[in-house]
């Protein structure tokens, strides 16, 4: 099990960049695949990006490909989501999630540990 806390959200204008951070605690963080999900008001939680436990494999959703990048630093127990060229439709609460497997999935139900979320608001 890992405990997760997100940071870095805020209010930005369209076209701006933000970097979200997820701070993890727990002895076995390096074994966990990690992901970012987001949930906009009135919508279901959706997959954004994921990274394998080693960091060698990543996946982002089609609508953010080329704009968002996921990375991790196992020594620091951190996961990052670099978000560039933000759009109003990226507005949501962003959640960091972990699963005690080395490989990731795109399904929120497969993730065991979640942070409380951080709000990202993009104005037009």
**DSSP secondary structure letter of residue 85:** S
Helix/strand/coil for 30 = helix
Predicted local confidence at residue 55, as pLDDT:
96
Return per-residue pLDDT of the chain as tens, 124 residues: 899 999 999 999 999 999 999 999 988 999 999 999 999 999 999 999 999 999 999 999 999 999 999 999 999 999 999 999 999 999 999 999 999 988 999 999 999 999 999 999 999 9
CA distance 82 to 60: 11
Predicted local confidence at residue 44, as pLDDT:
96
Predicted local confidence at residue 101, as pLDDT:
85
Report the alpha-carbon angle 102-22-28, nearest 5: 40
| Contact call for residues 2 and 25 (beta carbons, < 8 A) | yes
Helix/strand/coil for 89 = helix
Predicted local confidence at residue 102, as pLDDT:
83
Predicted local confidence at residue 53, as pLDDT:
96
């Amino acid at each position: 099990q890992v405990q997760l806390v997100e940071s870095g959200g805020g209010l930005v204008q369209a076209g701006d960049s933000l970097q979200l951070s997820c701070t993890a605690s727990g002895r076995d963080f390096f074994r966990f695949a990690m992901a970012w999900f987001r949930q906009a008001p009135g919508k279901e939680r959706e997959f954004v990006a994921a990274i394998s436990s080693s960091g060698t494999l990543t996946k982002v959703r089609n609508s953010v490909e080329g704009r968002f990048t996921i990375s991790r630093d196992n020594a620091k127990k951190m996961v990052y989501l670099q978000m560039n060229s933000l759009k109003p439709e990226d507005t949501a609460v962003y959640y960091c999630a972990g699963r005690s497997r080395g490989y990731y999935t795109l399904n929120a139900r497969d993730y065991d540990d979640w942070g409380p979320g951080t709000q990202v608001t993009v104005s037009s």
